[in-house]
Amino acid sequence: MKITSLFILLASFSGTLFSQTFTSDNSRVHLLELYSSQGCSSCPPAERWMSRLKHHPDLWKKFVPVVFHVDYWDYLGWEDPFSSNDFSQRQRSYYTERAINSVYTPGFLLDGKEWRGWYRNRPFNKNKETKRSLQARLHKNQLIANFSPASPAILNVALLGFEIQTSVLSGENHNKTFSEDFIVLSLQSKHSNNGSWALPAPAKNQSAAGRYALAIWVNFEDSLKPVQATGGWIK
């Protein structure tokens, strides 16, 4: 199974209308990105550290974590079912923008900048008041989003999977079983001239995740660096 870039329908919820709102308010919400792979022997400790954030009281309120699985380790004998060349290219684009010193795993970025504090358990940057806010409403089969103040920007919507069990049969992590969280299962990115979007809602795919969430963030056209984020569990 390879990750596709767009999913078009939201699963029904017992035949009832489903509506949920995600908002950043007026506080900066940090986006924490991890670039990882099931074929990388150095990645499991970083993913375990990331998984602990599920229980952090500031999750979704002050920071939004996402795990992108890259495909450049697949040649070692294990084809990561969550890897995508698009995610590898995203990491390489950060290198082109000089946000990271090299392309590697496990690789963290905090607000679009290389961050190595995870293994020292350093705290994230303190939240600051900001005039930029991001709101999104999940309703039926659509996601409606607004970024303020209105300006040209790119909205990114990632469907995240949690408690995903994988038995790795070959490669550097052969005979290991992973339980992974915050895995990006799909990513939609769309430009707007006025900071308003209407997108198809991401569909829960066949990943056998125990739980799902949305990560939503905005960047400007000239850089991948996120300027505001929001997210939360899908109820």
What is the reported pLDDT for 174?
94
Domain limits, the chain: 19-233
Whole-Å CA distances, 175 to 36, 38, 147, 170: 18, 12, 45, 7
What is the reported pLDDT for 13?
32
Q: What angle do CA 159, 162, 163 make, to 5 degrees?
A: 155
Q: What is the pLDDT of residues 161-219, one digit of tens each?
A: 999 999 999 999 999 999 999 999 999 999 999 999 999 999 876 668 999 999 999 99
Model confidence at 34: pLDDT above 50: yes
Q: What is the pLDDT of residues 11-21, one digit of tens each?
A: 333 333 468 99
For residue 191 the two structure tokens come to 């430009």
Q: What is the pLDDT of residues 126-145, one digit of tens each?
A: 667 788 999 999 998 899 99
Greater confidence, 25 or 181? 181
Cα(225)–Cα(205) distance, integer angstroms: 28
Number of residues written out for the chain = 235
Task: Please give the mean pLDDT across all residues of the chain.
Answer: 89
DSSP symbols for 96-139: HTTSSSS--SSEEEETTEE--GGGGTPPPPPP-B-S-EEEEEEE
User: Residue 152: which pLDDT band, with cuts at 50, 70 and 90?
Assistant: very high
What is the reported pLDDT for 128?
74
Q: Which residue spans within the chain are E strands per DSSP?
A: 19-23, 30-36, 63-69, 107-110, 113-114, 133-139, 142-148, 153-162, 164-168, 176-180, 183-192, 196-200, 211-219, 226-233
Model confidence at 31: pLDDT above 90: yes
Greater confidence, 2 or 188? 188
**What dihedral angle (degrees, nearest 10) is formed by the CA atoms of 73, 77, 83, 87?**
20
What is the reported pLDDT for 193?
97
- The mean per-residue pLDDT over the stretch 1-24 comes to 52
Give SS3 for 85: helix
Q: What is the pLDDT of residues 68-113, one digit of tens each?
A: 999 999 999 999 999 999 999 999 999 999 999 999 999 999 999 9
What is the reported pLDDT for 6?
31
Cα(201)–Cα(76) distance, integer angstroms: 35
Beta-carbon count within 10 A of 50 CB = 22
Q: What angle do CA 3, 146, 183 make, to 5 degrees?
A: 25
